[in-house]
Amino acid sequence: MRKFLFLIIIPLFALFTSCNDTNTGEPAEKLGKDEPTPTNSTFTHLPIIRIVIDGGGNVSSNKSVYRDMTAEFDPNGIISCDTTIVKGQIRGRGNSTWAMPKRPYKIKLDEKAGIFGLKPAKKWVLLANYADKTLMRNYLAFEMSEKVNMDYTPQHLFVELFINGVHQGNYLLTDQLEIGNGRLEAVNLLEIDQRIYETQNKPWFQTSHFPIVIEAPTEINQTEQYQISEYFKNAERVLDSNNYKDPKKGFRQYFDTKSVIKWWLINELFKNVDARVYSSIYFHQRLTSEKVFMGPVWDFDLGAGNSGHSEGCQKSSGWYVLYNAYIYRMYTDPDFKQETKDAWNIYKNVFMDVIMSIDSIQDYLQYSQEENFKIWPIFNDNDWYSVKNLPDNYEGQVEFLKNYLLDRFDWMDSQINQ
């Protein structure tokens, strides 16, 4: 019965059902015999990424240091495309997640590759989702983003990861956030990121409310940085002014409200702990518009009641992301409030459809999660990010997530439509 159900579910989760002609790399049979090609995870029914680090070494403990590697992308019969083998490099990524036992990675291929039928690119990210005991919070948020047609949603696909023949567990393969290269079509990518005070490792500027990091372009001169910062500071000054509601002279001349609302509603539905003031709050400016657009959405592993260090976010009721200084100010404008209501009533069925897909995703991941939590038996962990008194099994964790989002949906619907 489970096998039959799996065959039904596949189309829901394969982003593409066939590869295009832009795949690069050697045929699978050319993989050296001395390089491990483990097959013991094929029963999980997920595509497989096998990484062999040159010389048999490990990924560097310094997350900024790349190691040369060969990557094999095996569709495992799930997606109708050939196995792709590409040379490249791998390193660690993430901030708090890099300190977790199951680590996230960034891979940089020597050549663009449309792996598993995704749009060809060199840079990819492997999200470990270690703190998310359902493995699916980031996936669900990306699905919502895609279905409400945000400017850009990172491609996303569940995979099994092997490094040097050792199974690492279930990962979410997704895009490296970058501009151009078939990804976000924009002139820049900016992020509110409080960690910049400590790292000072990227160009950034301070506004009245937030530190804003220039994530892209990665090479920027002082004049360009000044222009970006002045535009953002002017936008903020207008938003904080007495005239901020004016349709022409107010904040709307600087901010694209449709993108703000989409981004906010998704993050608010998850009550995303980082999305109010801390990090992963992204903005961009399009090639065709000076306005500031919000997005993409990112980093939901501690959302939807899964934040052990924030009791407020564990409750399904109450506003949270609304109290971001920008969004709260906009929401005091009756026209913006009405625009939010209109958008919610357009998109809420989409949000509900994604929530109701949780059961199918659980079935799809059943074999994978079993293997993942054999490697990482974490249901009773008491780390800072772990919520106490949640179920100590996968099925219970998924049920908690679904009920949380359903309760949160009902609460938001009642508040927005009152």
Residue 89 has pLDDT above 90, yes or no: yes
| Rounded Cα–Cα distance for residues 172 and 9 (Å) | 17
Does residue 397 lie in a domain region?
no
Please tell me whether residues 240 and 145 are part of one structural domain: no
Residue 284 has pLDDT above 80, yes or no: yes
Does residue 361 lie in a domain region?
no
What's the whole-number mean pLDDT along residues 79-83?
84
| Rounded Cα–Cα distance for residues 189 and 199 (Å) | 18
- pLDDT one-digit tens code per residue, 241-254: 999 999 999 999 99
Residue 167 has pLDDT above 90, yes or no: yes
Please tell me whether residues 50 and 155 are part of one structural domain: yes
**pLDDT for the residue 380:** 87
Higher pLDDT, 181 or 329: 329
| Rounded Cα–Cα distance for residues 325 and 335 (Å) | 18
Q: How many CA atoms lie less than 13 Å away from 307 in the CB half-sphere?
A: 19
| Rounded Cα–Cα distance for residues 400 and 406 (Å) | 10
Does residue 146 lie in a domain region?
yes
Contacts of 73 (CB under 8 A, 6+ apart): 25, 47, 48, 49, 83, 84, 85, 86, 113, 115, 116
State CA 228 to chain mean position distance: 25
| Rounded Cα–Cα distance for residues 51 and 66 (Å) | 13
**pLDDT for the residue 291:** 95
Contacts of 309 (CB under 8 A, 6+ apart): 273, 384, 385
Mean pLDDT over each residue of the chain, to the nearest integer: 89
Q: Among the three residues 151, 175, 199, which one is the final residue of a domain in this structure?
A: 175
Torsion angle, alpha carbons of 337, 339, 342, 343, to 10: -110
Task: Please state, as a whole number, how many other Cβ atoms lie within 10 Å of the Cβ of residue 191.
Answer: 23
What's the whole-number mean pLDDT along residues 327-336?
98
Residue 177 structure tokens: 């956030």
pTM of the model: 0.90
Does residue 92 lie in a domain region?
yes
- pLDDT one-digit tens code per residue, 11-44: 344 443 345 433 333 322 222 223 334 444 456 9
Please tell me whether residues 161 and 237 are part of one structural domain: no
Residue 327 has pLDDT above 60, yes or no: yes
What's the whole-number mean pLDDT along residues 40-51?
81
Residue type, 179: I
Indicate the number of domains in the chain. 2
Place of tokens 């002279």: 249
Helix/strand/coil for 223? helix
| Rounded Cα–Cα distance for residues 48 and 158 (Å) | 9
Q: Among the three residues 154, 175, 196, which one is the final residue of a domain in this structure?
A: 175
Range of 97-111, 256-270, 384-398 with top mean pLDDT:
256-270
Please tell me whether residues 169 and 224 are part of one structural domain: no
| Rounded Cα–Cα distance for residues 118 and 263 (Å) | 24
Please tell me whether residues 209 and 284 are part of one structural domain: yes
| Rounded Cα–Cα distance for residues 410 and 346 (Å) | 15
| Rounded Cα–Cα distance for residues 132 and 371 (Å) | 15
Residue 164 has pLDDT above 90, yes or no: yes
The whole domain housing 59 covers 2-175
Query: Would you place residue 310 in the very low, low, confident or very high pLDDT band (cuts 50, 70, 90)?
Result: low
What's the whole-number mean pLDDT along residues 354-367?
98
Closest CA to 132 of 386, 409, 348, 332: 386
Please tell me whether residues 35 and 146 are part of one structural domain: yes
